[in-house]
Amino acid sequence: MAELFGTGAGIVGVISLAIQITQVVVQFGTDWKYAPDNIKTFMAELGTLKTVLSETNINIILNPDFEAAFQNRPSLLLSQLGPNAPSTTDTKQMLEICQRGLGSLLTDLKNRGQGHRLGWERFKGAFLAKDTRDSVENLCRQCQTLNSMLSIDAAVLGATMYKEVREGRKEQQEWRQAEAKTSFAIKSGTEQSSRWQENQDFQAVLNWLTPINYADQQSDYINRQQPGTGQWILDSASFQTWLNTDKQTLFCPGIPGAGKTILTSVVVKKLTTRFQNDKSSGVAYLYCNFQRKDEQKAKDLLASLLKQLTQGRSSLPDSVKSLYESHKDKRTRPSFDEISRALQSVAALYSRVFIIVDALDECQIADGCRDKFLTELFNLQAEASVRIFATSRFIPGIVEKFKESINLEIRASDQDVQRYLNGHISQLPGCVARSLELQEEVKAGILKAVDGMFLLAQLHLDSLKGKKSPKAIRATLNKLPTGSEAYDYAYKDAMERIEGQLPDEEELAKQVLSWITCAKRPLTTSELEHALAVEIGQSQFDEENLCKVGDMVSVCAGLVTVDEESDIIRLVHYTTQEYFERTQSDWFPDAEAEITTICATYLSYSGFEIGFCQTDNEFEDRLRLYQLYNYATHYWGRHARNAYTLHPVVADFLKSKAKVEAASQGLLATKHYSSQSNYSRKFPRQLTGLHLAAYFGVIEAINALLQKGVEADSKAENGRTPLSYAAKEGHEAVVKLLLAEKVDADLKDVDSRTPLSYAAQGGHEAVVKLLLAEKVDADLKDEDSRTSLSYAAQGGHEAVVKLLLAEKVDVDLKDEDGQTPLSYAAQRGHHAVVKLLLAEKADADSKAKHGRTPLSYAAWEGHEAVVKLLLTEKVDADLEDEYGRTPLSYAVWEGHEAVVKLLLTEKADADSKAKNGRTLLSYAAWGGHKAVVKLLLAEKADADLKTKYGRTPLSYAAEEGHEAVVKLLLAEKADADSKAKNGRTPLSYAAQRGHEAVVKLLLAEKADAHSKAKDGRTPLSYAAADGHEAVVKLLNPIF
């Protein structure tokens, strides 16, 4: 093998085998997505090792520059694997051993691929063989050995360079060059071994922020376009103005089906391509979708923006790192405000940020989601250099929010429609293909009927596909619907074509359309394939009954499409969904009941009779094997609640203890972290069918179970009853029914929480009234000493707060953190609730555990109206907490300009220091809050006031790369060369972080480029060690 491949043969041979193994799996493993976790891990490891070997071979062993660098000195790596290295070296022999092991695996896989066993079972033995595992482990050790050799070579080369430079240069110049070159050499030798782990950690944090990924959708939309589509918007004066103007917003409303989403994808592609290599520019985008409401709440949308902007950084930003660390051990999720603060911090790291949001009209409005999201988006724009691009239908509430923005209406251009028709006309019958004249008639007829609605071009083209003669084509063209009612006519025509198919095809099409229309979230192709394969009355899933997605799409008359990248099957447009929601009773009136029956049948399969899975691997295997399991466990009850009647299979399923356990695990076991272990066991045991029915609010099922004698007050392992779950979810009718069964309305769970506590937290006014009528204890404390009023105030549920106050509850009761209901309401910015509590004489200056007051929390979160309200209560605006921080300190830290103004008006101390020695100006400078820095300087804050560590505001601004703030401070004659106690200067910090623009500013102020910290390191040393080449060149032009 060595002779066959030449230089680096052992490496190349292993790489070749790794590629072949992957190809064999792809070729034969049609069910590979169901593979067990350990096999997927094996393939991931093999892929990673292949990449390491490939990079080593191409960039080092075969790199003539690397060989030339060792022309007059020995190289350990080349002596083992170089062109002149003997075939008997230890490294080559070990690689050949690995090669033989992988060769055996390849042969075994090929033999097994010809067998008759289905799915991954035929490969399982080959992957789990001890010899195979040993080969990969040996290969891993060899990669580590190569990295060690490379590090030794780099260190030798660096030391030699240092000697040569010292002998040929003046002493000062020699030191700087050798220092930098040695740092680069050592870094290049060690970074390969550490990069993989860093990337893994980085990705884990990104996935923790949110698993949602919009890149797949972006790819799908781009793949659907014809070349040149949307160029008109990129060339428009409005777009160019937006592109080149800081803090500008471009709002693009359009009628339904005008092509807003496709044009959004054009804009995203333009920006991501243009700024691909510009690390100072960030791009983040969102595609709102009416079917993804559960994963597109305001917090989710902000988290997605944070994830994308974080992804654009070379290393994990400090704000995201600290956010992750603060929640990691507690296994908690970040709050809306925490995500908002982190987003502002990360956005400030860029010199400009582009945020693109498509289909704001599809963003949910429940709980003020859309307004809350837009408010945060505009706040972000005010704080950082953010440009916003947004599309929507002409919804008055949305249009009003963008009235001060650049407006550009989106309509399908004739050129874009023409491109689409040119690209798809080949799909029409042969009579069209054979006649250029007829082709032109088709294009002209459709173009005339479209009138700015791109979607109509697709629907009208689909309406011609079944026509067999030129006469039929022309007849259809002459009656193509136009205007505002065109979509309804087009959809009705499509359904009539579906009903004209063979009976089996018609039935399949209506099943597909009913599932997609009624689904509570987007369905994958595998989920829908499994759903339609379910046979009512059967206890096992039969793969022989599967219908492939291609057949589903083909019978749906162009109304259904598949997003290839995300594997989602969906309706072609939001208007299609709206049409079927209006006309569901005409086309599939029993859809909700039928879907409920299918889900219950699926969850009743004999495979679930063993109950819950004991390990994460077992649980994940179950998810892969039963593709509809995740959807069925989460949504069967929501379908059941909408069904006019229930099939007996639902009650049978709910009476089975084991099957209810299996369904409960699928519903409640959640993986919050990629590295989280035993997550599948973190769900309450002993839930009954009645618990599940109460959770979903399925009255008919509850009545059926109660009639069978099921205990109405049964407790799960966590101490919660069906009433507790119904109260939390706000199911008024279920609560009434259970209370009529004389259940204990005040029963505590293991956390000492009652049904009233959960109902108050959810803001369920009607349920709270029912429970209070049962004379429950309205002031009961839970394990954290929190009351129902505390939860209601935190959630901003004004009506519930009024009900509880009428019960004369203690308005100032503190929880274990010392927070009162007023403290929580102020922190969340619930003005109306704060007003209610103050009217009840709540203590406006009450101190929490660490001495923080309601004003402190409100100022921290930037709630201007609440701050104003509290100041009218004559609270102490300068009250320090245990850390020596004032409300002004927190407002400054977060950059809340309006709140800072209010507090300064109250004569709050602009030069106060926290106990850690930090000044207000240092916090503002560190956060890059230019407007706040201006306010503090106007109050004569000392621009050179040092913390107890000797650092100035300029030092912090330089470290974080806030160019605008650095300019402000330098204009105030801040000391550009001030030294901290560790001897480091602003230039030192800026150089280490690679902030080129800031380094330029400081050098222009004659900052000392050669200053040494107490550890003897210079700005050049820090820049070189972290690989910031542009900064190295600024500090030492010789490089």
DSSP state of 245: S
Do 805 and 836 form a contact (C-beta atoms < 8 A)?
yes
Tokens 């193994």 locate to 21
Q: Is 541 helix (H, G, I), strand (E, B) or coil?
A: coil
Tokens 């245990």 locate to 882
Q: Does residue 798 carry a pLDDT above 60?
A: yes
pLDDT at 33: 57
DSSP string, 460-499: HHHHTTT--SHHHHHHHHHT---STTHHHHHHHHHHHHHH
Q: Which amino acid appears at position 38 of this protein? A: N
pLDDT in tens, 225-238: 888 899 999 999 99
Mean pLDDT of 641-663: 95
Q: Does residue 616 carry a pLDDT above 60?
A: yes
Q: Is 282 helix (H, G, I), strand (E, B) or coil?
A: strand
Sign of the dihedral defined by the CA atoms of residues 253, 259, 264, 267, in that order: negative
CATH class label, 215-407: alpha beta
Greater model confidence, 338 or 628: 628
pLDDT at 185: 47
pLDDT at 249: 96
Could you tell me if residue 857 is left (phi over 0), alpha (psi between -120 and 50 degrees) or otherwise beta? Answer: alpha
pLDDT in tens, 992-1001: 988 898 999 9
Mean pLDDT of 393-422: 90
DSSP state of 226: P
DSSP state of 721: -
Q: Does residue 447 carry a pLDDT above 70?
A: yes
Q: Does residue 150 carry a pLDDT above 60?
A: yes
Q: Does residue 277 carry a pLDDT above 60?
A: yes
pLDDT at 288: 93
* Phi, psi (degrees; rounded to nearest 5) at 992: -65, -35
pLDDT at 7: 36
Token pair, residue 718, equals: 């966590």
Greater model confidence, 675 or 246: 246
Do 997 and 963 form a contact (C-beta atoms < 8 A)?
yes
Q: Indicate if 910-1035 has the same CATH topology as 215-407.
A: no
pLDDT at 285: 97
pLDDT at 194: 54
* Phi, psi (degrees; rounded to nearest 5) at 520: -85, -10
Beta bridge partners of 410: 254
* pLDDT tier, 1 (very low <50, low <70, confident <90, very high otherwise): very low
pLDDT in tens, 306-339: 999 999 988 888 889 889 988 887 778 888 888 9
CATH class label, 910-1035: mainly alpha
Q: How do the domains of the chain map onto residue ranges? A: 2-199, 215-407, 420-484, 501-585, 793-887, 910-1035
Mean pLDDT of 927-949: 91
Among the ranges given (4-18, 228-242, 630-644), the one the predictor scored with the smallest mean pLDDT: 4-18
pLDDT at 128: 66
Beta bridge partners of 390: 251, 357
Greater model confidence, 620 or 193: 620
Q: Does residue 3 carry a pLDDT above 50?
A: no
The tally of CA atoms less than 13 A away on the side-chain side of residue 346 is 32
Tokens 């080369």 locate to 157
Mean pLDDT of 408-412: 90
pLDDT at 971: 94
Token pair, residue 649, equals: 């299979």
* Phi, psi (degrees; rounded to nearest 5) at 410: -100, 125
Token pair, residue 1007, equals: 């900052």
**Whole-angstrom Cα distance, residue 32 to residue 48?**
19
Mean pLDDT of 93-98: 76
CA distances for 405 relative to 309, 382, 507, 805, 1030, angstroms: 23, 14, 49, 44, 37
Token pair, residue 73, equals: 């000195």
pLDDT at 453: 84
Token pair, residue 7, equals: 């230089």
* Phi, psi (degrees; rounded to nearest 5) at 416: -70, -40
* pLDDT tier, 4 (very low <50, low <70, confident <90, very high otherwise): very low
DSSP H or E run through 287: strand 281-287
**Whole-angstrom Cα distance, residue 675 to residue 984?**
38
CATH class label, 793-887: mainly alpha
**Whole-angstrom Cα distance, residue 890 to residue 894?**
6
pLDDT at 627: 95
Topology classification of domain 501-585: Arc Repressor Mutant, subunit A (1.10.10)
Token pair, residue 882, equals: 């245990």
pLDDT in tens, 279-310: 889 999 999 988 787 788 999 999 999 999 99
Q: Does residue 113 carry a pLDDT above 70?
A: no
Q: Is 919 helix (H, G, I), strand (E, B) or coil?
A: strand
pLDDT in tens, 736-747: 999 999 999 999
pLDDT at 264: 96
Greater model confidence, 75 or 264: 264
* pLDDT tier, 731 (very low <50, low <70, confident <90, very high otherwise): very high
User: What length is written for the chain?
Assistant: 1039
pLDDT at 10: 66
Greater model confidence, 83 or 213: 213
Give me the percent of the chain exceeding a pLDDT of 70.
89
Q: Does residue 359 carry a pLDDT above 80?
A: yes
Q: 920-927 vs 953-960: helix axis angle to the nearest 10?
A: 10
pLDDT at 71: 66
pLDDT in tens, 8-22: 446 767 777 777 777
pLDDT in tens, 457-496: 888 888 898 888 999 999 999 888 887 788 898 999 999 9
Tokens 């927190």 locate to 890
* pLDDT tier, 907 (very low <50, low <70, confident <90, very high otherwise): confident
Mean pLDDT score across all residues of the chain: 87
Give me the percent of the chain exceeding a pLDDT of 90.
56
* pLDDT tier, 365 (very low <50, low <70, confident <90, very high otherwise): confident
pLDDT at 901: 94
